[in-house]
């Protein structure tokens, strides 16, 4: 029986050995409880964020936590994938918006989306609305995921969604990151918002199937 509380604790403590040991246990039966393990890892990442805000952790710890979370997704990648991903893949755009240079959360979400059969066009960090619109038109994209960690990212998201509505009607937009909320989503004009990679994947899969 996997101790998911211990997994969350280990992730929050940045205890790499324990995290990987527990995840290997999760994968022993093919990963039937990989979803619960992912939730535990996310809970641990929430702890990391709180400790950073309280001054217990520093930027280096955040980077390390992001790398550890990416490793966790990689270990469980096959189990986290669902459905038939062998056929044509849905292409979508993912990026961190203008004036925000963070990519840890974006990279975790990318790994999860790819595990679930998406062909992710990662535009990187600090991406302008113009570049996103240009890529949507050039690649005939239907789904865009915007990431941001800084509060000022909300303004960039709003400008990006406004540009997409004007230039690319019909495109679905999901936003994610620390400052995002239901109220922010309404103000920005996005179709959906998420704090977890699991929800991002779920929403994008629903849109892709529509």
SS3 of residue 123 by DSSP:
strand
What homologous superfamily is domain 91-209 in, according to CATH? Cobalamin-binding domain (3.40.50.280)
Read off the pLDDT of each residue in 81-103 and give the average, rounded to a whole number: 79
The predicted-structure confidence for 129-156, as pLDDT tens digits, reads as follows 999 999 999 999 999 999 998 999 999 9
Same fold, 4-80 and 91-209: no
Residue 84 has pLDDT above 60, yes or no: no
Min mean pLDDT across 16-25, 63-72, 173-182 is at 63-72
Average pLDDT, the chain: 91
Count the Cβ atoms, other than its own, within 10 Å of residue 160.
29
Count the Cβ atoms, other than its own, within 10 Å of residue 170.
7
Domain 4-80, architecture per CATH: Orthogonal Bundle (1.10)
Query: By C-alpha distance, which of 40, 84, 38 is closest to 200?
Result: 38
Model confidence band, residue 83 (pLDDT cutoffs 50, 70, 90): low
pTM over 0.75: yes
CA dist 124 and 92 (Å) reads: 13
Rg (CA), the chain: 17
For the chain, the structural domain boundaries read 4-80, 91-209
CB 26 within 8 A of CB 34: yes
Alpha-helical segments (H) within 13-151:
16-26, 34-53, 59-75, 77-80, 104-115, 129-139
pLDDT of residue 146: 98
pLDDT of residue 15: 97
Q: In the chain, pLDDT over 90 holds for what percent of residues?
A: 66
Comparison of pLDDT for 41 and 85, the residue scoring more:
41
Model confidence band, residue 108 (pLDDT cutoffs 50, 70, 90): confident
Residue 85 has pLDDT above 70, yes or no: no
Residue 203 has pLDDT above 60, yes or no: yes
Read off the pLDDT of each residue in 102-113 and give the average, rounded to a whole number: 86
Comparison of pLDDT for 104 and 87, the residue scoring more:
104
**Segment of 36-45, 104-113, 177-186 carrying the highest mean pLDDT:** 177-186
């Amino acid at each position: 029986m996997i101790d998911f509380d211990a997994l969350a604790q280990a992730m929050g403590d940045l205890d790499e050995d324990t995290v990987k040991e527990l995840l290997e246990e999760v994968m022993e039966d093919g990963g039937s409880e990989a979803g619960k393990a992912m939730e535990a890892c996310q809970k641990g990442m929430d702890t990391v964020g709180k400790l950073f805000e309280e001054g217990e952790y520093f930027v280096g710890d955040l980077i390390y936590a992001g790398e550890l979370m990416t490793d966790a997704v990689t270990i469980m990648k096959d189990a986290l994938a669902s459905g038939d991903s062998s056929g044509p893949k849905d292409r979508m755009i993912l990026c961190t918006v203008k004036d925000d240079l963070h990519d840890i959360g974006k990279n975790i979400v990318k790994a999860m989306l790819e595990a679930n059969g998406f062909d992710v066009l990662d535009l990187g960090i600090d991406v302008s609305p113009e570049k996103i619109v240009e890529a949507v038109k050039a690649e005939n994209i239907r789904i865009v995921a915007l990431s941001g960690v800084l509060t000022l990212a909300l303004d960039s998201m709003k400008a990006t969604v406004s540009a997409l509505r004007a230039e690319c009607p019909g495109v679905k937009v999901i936003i994610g990151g620390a400052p995002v909320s239901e109220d922010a989503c309404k103000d920005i004009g996005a179709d959906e918002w998420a704090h977890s990679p699991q929800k991002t994947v779920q929403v994008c899969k629903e849109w892709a199937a529509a």
